[in-house]
Structure 1
């Protein structure tokens, strides 16, 4: 039988919520890091005047955002 969160113990619910919050936080931190890295690489592609790299990197940035 499946365990329903509403019928489980309060401590169990807190653990589940803590895990979800931690996972959401880590996902946000990773996404922010990836965005910052891509923005730096985009700046470098502009300095090199590389259209190909610029478009590839901006597409990657769009997919994250």
Structure 2
């Protein structure tokens, strides 16, 4: 019975970590889009290129 409890706790922990990772990824994705829009408005080509490169990595 203890082994089942440990297994359940490990699986629950992994599921929580997956949800947390997805939340962080989603937040960064939205943040990048806002920063890319800002770089476009300000005509900051260097920031635009850096941000879009990061976005491409995040999408992989």
Ranges of 4+ aligned residues in structure 1 off by more than 4 Å:
none
TM-score (norm: length of structure 1): 0.83
Paired positions, count: 58
TM-score (norm: length of structure 2): 0.89
Structure 1 unaligned blocks of 5 or more = 1-7
Larger Rg: 1
- Normalized per residue, the structure richer in helix is 2
Give the alignment's Cα RMSD to 1 decimal.
Answer: 1.1
Distance 1:35 1:62 in 2: 10
Structure 2 unaligned blocks of 5 or more = none
